[in-house]
Amino acid sequence: MALTKLVLAVTVVVIVIVIAGVSYLVLGRSGLGDQGFQENQGSQENEIPLYTGAIENWSFTDPSTGVSLRLFTSTDVPDVILSFYSVEMPKRGWIFNNENTENMGIYGEIILVHNLIFKKVDNMALISAGRSVTGITFLIIGVQPASALNGGLDGGAIT
pLDDT given at position 98 = 94
pLDDT confidence of residue 50? 93
CATH topology for the 2-155 domain: Protein Transport Mog1p; Chain A (3.40.1000)
How many CB atoms within 10 Å of residue 45? 22
Contacts of 148 (CB under 8 A, 6+ apart): 65, 66, 67
From its phi and psi, is residue 93 left (phi > 0), alpha (psi between -120 and 50) or beta?
A: left
Whole-number Å distance between alpha carbons of 35 and 107: 22
H helix runs in the chain, sequence order: 2-27, 78-91
- The beta strands (E) that lie in 18-120 are given as 55-61, 68-74, 95-106, 109-120
Q: Where are the domains of the chain?
A: 2-155
Q: What is the reported pLDDT for 120?
A: 92
Q: What confidence score (pLDDT) does residue 86 get? A: 97
DSSP state of 53: T
pLDDT of residue 150: 60
Instruction: Check if the beta carbon of residue 144 is closer than 8 Å to that of residue 126.
Output: yes
Residues in the chain, pLDDT under 50: 1-45, 151-159
